[in-house]
């Protein structure tokens, strides 16, 4: 068996014996059982599909919107769901606490040398709507429960204790915070538009750990400037955000550069996942995380 991949040696530390890994900075083979695409490098990905016969594309990202249009017909696409659950969930908790405890305001006061005490918000007792309730959504829920929040999970398909998008008009006015964890598909593109933001509770928090394209950026700017919501964003549209973009300086916004899933434990988690996935392939068992309908 052969894998073609970026040079991420630690991620291949647990592969079964006999599996050959060829790196993208080496001569490419004519065929590869698995291709692990480098995130965001579309030209390299296109060339691989032109020059290499690939059976399975395995992303190490949970989202596949960036590669879905490039995958040739007949090639199996699997996402990296499960690899990023813990760090993204930790980032969401950070975002909620930072906004509720006004960390941006205290950092500004520190830079200005001002002693500026104020009454702070509590996470306890807040209603947090999780828009997207897959593996990452469940990891977020597990970490928020000890804080005493009321969770409002929303998923694509109804199940006990889980709402659907049809319930959003009733849920949004209740939620103190909305956490975006959806994949980007034609169905979810700009789901957070003017109507969505207008239905949110006055002063609510919007936390985006999904994809920038889930949000209508102009509508969000208007809501931020009006003081209707505050936002903590790990992803933006456009991305990377140009240095002169008004979102950088928008009132009530905090931005990190798509780092929620980047952590020191990535290689360890990727190695465990790839060991299991490749083992399944070699044993002829069903693969994990096969993408259907963009999910």
239 classed as catalytic: yes
Pick from 54, 68, 7: nearest CA to 267: 7
**How many whole angstroms separate alpha carbon 219 and alpha carbon 234?**
17
211 classed as catalytic: yes
**Strands 204-208, 177-180: parallel, antiparallel or unpaired by DSSP?**
parallel
Residue 263: exposed, middle, or buried by beta-carbon count in 10 A (0-12, 13-18, 19+)?
Answer: middle
β-sheet bridge partners, residue 15:
none
Which residues, including other chains, have CB under 8 Å from residue 110's CB and lie 6 or more apart? none
What tokens does 84 get? 């990023």
Cα torsion 91, 94, 98, 103: sign: negative
Residue tagged active-site, from 84, 228, 230, 258: 258
84 classed as catalytic: no
**How many whole angstroms separate alpha carbon 275 and alpha carbon 19?**
10
Residue tagged active-site, from 239, 245, 272, 276: 239
Residue tagged active-site, from 211, 228, 230, 269: 211
Would you give the end-to-end CA distance of the chain in angstroms?
A: 27
Catalytic residue IDs: 211, 239, 258
């Amino acid at each position: 068996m052969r894998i073609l991949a970026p040079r991420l040696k630690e991620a291949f530390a647990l592969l079964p014996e006999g599996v050959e890994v060829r790196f993208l900075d080496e001569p490419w083979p004519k065929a590869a059982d698995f291709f692990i695409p480098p995130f965001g490098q579309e030209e390299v990905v296109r060339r691989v599909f032109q020059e290499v016969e690939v059976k399975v594309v395995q992303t190490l990202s949970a989202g596949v919107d960036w590669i879905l249009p490039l995958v040739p017909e007949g090639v199996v696409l699997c996402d990296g769901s499960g690899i990023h659950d813990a760090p993204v969930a930790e980032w969401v908790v950070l975002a909620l606490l930072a906004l509720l405890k006004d960390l941006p305001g205290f950092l500004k006061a520190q830079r200005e040398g001002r002693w500026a005490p104020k009454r702070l918000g509590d996470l306890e007792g807040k209603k947090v709507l999780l828009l997207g309730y897959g593996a990452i959504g469940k990891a977020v829920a597990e970490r928020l429960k000890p804080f005493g929040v009321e969770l409002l999970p929303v998923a694509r398909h109804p199940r006990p204790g889980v709402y659907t998008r049809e319930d959003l008009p009733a849920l949004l006015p209740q939620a103190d915070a909305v956490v975006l964890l959806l994949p980007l598909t034609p169905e979810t593109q700009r789901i957070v538009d003017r109507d969505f933001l207008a239905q949110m509770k006055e002063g609510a928090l919007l936390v985006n750990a999904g994809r920038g394209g889930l949000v209508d950026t102009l509508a969000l700017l208007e809501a931020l400037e009006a003081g209707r919501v505050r936002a903590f964003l790990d992803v933006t549209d456009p991305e990377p955000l140009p240095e002169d973009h008004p979102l950088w300086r928008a009132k009530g916004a905090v931005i990190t550069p798509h780092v929620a899933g980047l952590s020191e434990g990535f290689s360890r988690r990727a190695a465990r996942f790839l060991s299991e996935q490749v083992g399944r392939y070699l044993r002829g068992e069903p693969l994990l995380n096969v993408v259907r309908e963009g999910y």
